[in-house]
Structure 1
Amino acid sequence: MELKDASTALAALGHPTRLSVFRLLVEAGHEGRTPGDIAEVLSLAGATLSFHLKELTTAGLIQGESQGRHIRYRADFDAMTGLIEFLTRNCCGGDQGRCLPGSAPSPTSATKEGKT
């Protein structure tokens, strides 16, 4: 993933509703969800949900598959992985072992524990 694609994806995820939709689709896994299911779980109006699904699709973060009269939306896990890889590329000067969760205390946790 390159800067332009990452910027588009992050902008799409920067809206609370779209982030909620995306997370719900990630939780659903490869089975995905229909718009009706998504709208019900997140208490969204159909037109509002349609707008956000279009934005996430345009950003390449989700895909819709027609199933008869319905569409089933799924998170694009390759795109999600690509975004994470883009964000962590060259992390800690290329020493990814230092960037793994739990490998070193974050500045925030050190401050909270009085270890400044």
Structure 2
Amino acid sequence: MKNFIDRVPMNPNRYKITNESGGISYATIEREDNATVAGTALNREVFMALQGMEASNTSFDADGSVSEIYGTGTLVTFFPVNGDVVERFTSNTCQIITKTTKFNTDGSISEVIS
């Protein structure tokens, strides 16, 4: 497990430019790309969540599934009778990502994401 730390700059968006002659200057760079979607920030919270370190409310459901409610959506884990493990994440924007884990007869494990 890796504990990610957010960078805390004293001069955000400031970059040092060294000319070929060795002269140094400083510049402030701002994005001006007119993005239609901001995208996911790359920060400590996101990297820690990738490792499963995220606050959630978990419940064990009557049908044998497990529901985990996060700030970004809900993960439901099902255990079908065929022995697979199916994890279905539904984001707060209704995007659905499913991972099916199969335990193969040769002892290997296969995972499919859809």
Query: TM-score, length-normalised on structure 2?
Result: 0.22
- Structure richer in strand, relative to its length: 2
- Structure richer in helix, relative to its length: 1
**Larger RCO: Structure 1 or Structure 2 (Cα < 8 Å, ≥ 6 residues apart)?**
1
Query: TM-score, length-normalised on structure 1?
Result: 0.21
